[in-house]
Each structure stands twice: as structure tokens, then as C-alpha cells.
């Protein structure tokens, strides 16, 4: 029997004002699109903003559906649009923010498992890391240098 240890690390910013200006701007766009989320069931709104290597910024918000799980998370909404509209562009970084209509979200909210797998697909496809910044409605912002840092034992096409 063997044991392996997997380590991840994050940079933690106390608030948005500690972020570099360009990251603040990206997170601000995520916050704005979060307000447009369609979340009548969960009352949990998520916004994502992606910076592509061509300078374009793509945003997405979660879109729920009464025929659950037919909806789509904010991260995947943005990623799939970027992949469709700009198939050759690389995703440089992603900003994610979440807020509940019921309770304040002060802890950073990372991508769900389905979103992590989708982000992993693009990180592998483009052969370069995607920086991921995530926060709740207010408070700390976490930075992960890559999706692989969030999901170190990720599933990819080499297993197929």
C-alpha cells in the first residue's frame, strides 16, 4: 500500500480593493452579470467573467429551469459561449462571484464539480493554466493559479 499527498495553494485577498485593477474590473463584470442571473428556484445567483487572450471579456450567469437539472451554471454558460464564439482563443483568467437572495454569502464560493470538469477540459485543450478568482457577495477573494490546483486528480481524455 502507498499513500500520496496532494497539496493545493491559494492566494487570499481580504477584499476586492486588494486585487490588481485589471482583476477588480473583471470581478466587477462578474458581479454585474450575477445580478442578471435567472435563479427563481434556488435564489442563488452566480456570475462569471472570462478574459480571453484576444482581449475579449465573456460573461455568464446561472440559468435555472423548473425541469431541474436542465439549467446551466454561470461558469459553463460563459465557457461554452467563449468556446463557440472564439474557438481558437485561450481563457487567461476567470472571475466568479455568488450571492444568495436569502443570506449574505461572505465565504468565497468555488466552482461546482461540473464546472470544474468543464474548466478542466478547456485548460487541457489550450495547454495553459486558467487563473481562477472566486468570492461570495462580499469579503475575501481566493485566487487559484489553475484549475488543476482546484482539481488535482482531474479526469481527462487520456483515460478514455
Beta strands in 7-140, from DSSP E residues, in sequence order:
11-13, 44-52, 57-61, 91-100, 131-135
For residue 40, what is its C-alpha cell? Answer: 427563481
The answer to whether residues 133 and 110 touch, using CB atoms and an 8 Å cutoff, is no
Report domain extents, the chain: 20-153
pLDDT digit string, tens, across residues 130-152: 999 999 999 999 999 999 999 98
For residue 90, pLDDT over 90 is answered with yes
The answer to whether residues 74 and 134 touch, using CB atoms and an 8 Å cutoff, is no
For residue 160, pLDDT over 90 is answered with no
The answer to whether residues 118 and 133 touch, using CB atoms and an 8 Å cutoff, is no
157 band by pLDDT with thresholds 50, 70 and 90: confident
pLDDT, residue 84, reads: 97
pLDDT digit string, tens, across residues 3-49: 999 999 999 999 999 999 999 999 999 999 999 999 999 999 999 99
Has 75 been annotated as catalytic? Answer: yes
The answer to whether residues 44 and 100 touch, using CB atoms and an 8 Å cutoff, is yes
> Which CATH architecture describes the domain 20-153?
3-Layer(aba) Sandwich (3.40)
Q: Among residues 18, 32, 64, 75, which one is catalytic?
A: 75
Amino acid at each position: 500500500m502507498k499513500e500520496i499527498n496532494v497539496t493545493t495553494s491559494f492566494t487570499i485577498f481580504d477584499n476586492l480593493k486588494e486585487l490588481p485593477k485589471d482583476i477588480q474590473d473583471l470581478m466587477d463584470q462578474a458581479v454585474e452579470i450575477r445580478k442578471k442571473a435567472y435563479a427563481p428556484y434556488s435564489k442563488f445567483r452566480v456570475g462569471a467573467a472570462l478574459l480571453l487572450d484576444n482581449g475579449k471579456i465573456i460573461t455568464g450567469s446561472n440559468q435555472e429551469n423548473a425541469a431541474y437539472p436542465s439549467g446551466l451554471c454561470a461558469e459553463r454558460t460563459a465557457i461554452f459561449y467563449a468556446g463557440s464564439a472564439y474557438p481558437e482563443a485561450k481563457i487567461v483568467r476567470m472571475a466568479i462571484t455568488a450571492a444568495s437572495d436569502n443570506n449574505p454569502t461572505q465565504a468565497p464560493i468555488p466552482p461546482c464539480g461540473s464546472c470544474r470538469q468543464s474548466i478542466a477540459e478547456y485548460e487541457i485543450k489550450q495547454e495553459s493554466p486558467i487563473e481562477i478568482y472566486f468570492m461570495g457577495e462580499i469579503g475575501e477573494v481566493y485566487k487559484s493559479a489553475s484549475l488543476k490546483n482546484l482539481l488535482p486528480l482531474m479526469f481527462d481524455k487520456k483515460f478514455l
